[in-house]
Copies of this chain bind each other. A is one copy, B any other.
Amino acid sequence: VRQGFPEVIYCSNKPDDYLVSIYCKMFEENGEVFGTRASIHQYEIVKKKLPQVQYDEVSQILKIEKNDKKLTGRIAVCSAGTADIPVAEEAAQTAEFFGTYVDRIYDVGVSGLHRLLSKMEVIQKANCVVAVAGMEGALASVLGGLVKNPIIAVPTSVGYGASMGGLSALLTMINSCANGVTVVNIDNGFGAGYVATQINRLAGGK
């Protein structure tokens, strides 16, 4: 537990034996364990040792979580398109694992503005808003103009052609002329959920 946050395992490309052993070790030490970017295969090998482990195919999160977790404060995770949901879920579930209450507002891309506007009341209540979008990534700018608390923008690799694996969305977000927008790496839902939790805790959501 560095800095009040339990360690999180980045499962991608970890060798099988090594992964199973750290899952076991961390579960033993903390009574819970949380990993991102896990494959179904990794789920299966961990389950053999830790049958209570849970896997979410959408977010690729593999975890054992304590039962009595109380979620406090309030953040919002917004996403533009259906294809951005995996990244949004990585953010939301990471924040929840760290004890943060999360409102999910999905499918509110700026090309259908009225859907987004109809959800503003709940979004404006958040201590921090995570804005997940690929393609042109305009969601963060629009939100930045509408909410008073920080926006954590997460570009996603969703798109084709000139989206360049998320670089276009990243550039859009970095160039945002709305105040209060900061950016994390492409597809880094984990990082956004982490920072959103830091802010939510500072705001009293402990």
Interface residues of A (CB under 8 A from B): 3-5, 12-14, 18, 80-83, 109-113, 127-128, 135-138, 141-142, 144-150, 152, 155, 157, 159-188, 191, 194-195, 198-199, 202-204
Contact = CB atoms under 8 A, between A and B. Distances in A.
Pairs A-B, 8 closest by C-beta atoms: A161-B186, A138-B138, A182-B182, A111-B178, A3-B148, A111-B145, A202-B203, A168-B171
Given A113-B142, A187-B161, A195 B180 contact: yes
A145 B115 CA distance: 11
B182 A152 contact: yes
B141 A110 contact: yes
Nearest to A186: B161
A78 to B, nearest CB: 15
Contacts of A113: 113, 142, 145-146
Contact of A160 (B5, B147, B183, B186): B186
Nearest to A163: B175
Given A109-B177, A110-B142, A161-B166, 7 more contacts: A113-B113, A136-B138, A136-B177, A162-B186, A168-B174, A170-B174, A182-B191
